[in-house]
Amino acid sequence: MHDGTIRDLAFMEGPESGGSILISAGAGDCNIYTTDCQRGQGLHALNGHTGHILTVYTWGGWMIASGSQDKTVRFWDLRVPSCVRVVGTSLHGSGSAIASVAVDPSGRLLATGQEDSTCMLYDIRGGRMVQTFRPHSSDIRSVRFSPGAHHLLTGSYDNKIIISDLQGDLTKQLPQTVAGEHLDKVIQCRWHPHDRTFLSSSADRTVVLWAPGP
């Protein structure tokens, strides 16, 4: 169904959808496609982005967040199914392509990883940006909340993996720790579902399992 490079995939997880809907997005027509995995049939083509889609994230059984080279995050509700909100990154400065998005387990907070080395925290329910900050010195290709949403894990083309502490006032400067470093660009980072350990993959041809200190 796609007519360009597929950049990201996600399954829709949750009791409403049964975890059987595949979300895929990328270049070409810049659409997000949903597929019923049990029947092997396409369901929806969600259009609105004007640049290549680099990242998708699902939560809540119905919701999708997508980040694009058009410098926006779009929220999609599959019950509609259409775009229900657009969040731009050009509120301060020229904006930046969004390489990674994640939503915390409560569904309240969005984090972005951007090609200008910044992250944005966005209050989904309040509809407002909480803050932008720069934990890295190059493209941020991966952002993920820890299972309890106490920490944000970011991986970057600066070879570093940073953990930002989210337990205080989110409008203030966030305490940050360099949790790991590769010999080349960091491509993806993922928390363990229960432990405080995490994985990172890199252009240095390694995947590393890290155990952060207490």
- pLDDT at 39 (0 to 100): 83
Contacts of 76 (CB under 8 A, 6+ apart): 32, 46, 63, 64, 65, 66, 82, 83, 84
Is-contact 8 30, C-beta < 8 A?
no
Q: Mean pLDDT of residues grouped by 10 in the chain (214 residues)?
A: 94 71 94 90 94 95 94 94 90 80 96 96 95 96 96 98 96 96 98 93 98 73
Question: What does the alpha-carbon distance between residue 140 and residue 154 come to, in Å, rounded to a whole number?
Answer: 7
Question: What does the alpha-carbon distance between residue 195 and residue 193 come to, in Å, rounded to a whole number?
Answer: 6
- pLDDT at 151 (0 to 100): 96
- pLDDT at 105 (0 to 100): 93
- pLDDT at 214 (0 to 100): 62
Buried b / exposed e across 157-190, counting CB within 10 Å, b at 16+?
A: bbbbbbbbebeeeeeeebeeeebbebeebbbebe
> Residues, the chain, total?
214
Q: How crowded is residue 99: how many other Cβ atoms within 10 Å of its Cβ? A: 23
Task: Indicate the DSSP class of residue 48.
Answer: -
**Whether the predicted model's global pTM rises above the 0.85 cut:** yes
Question: What does the alpha-carbon distance between residue 20 and residue 11 come to, in Å, rounded to a whole number?
Answer: 7
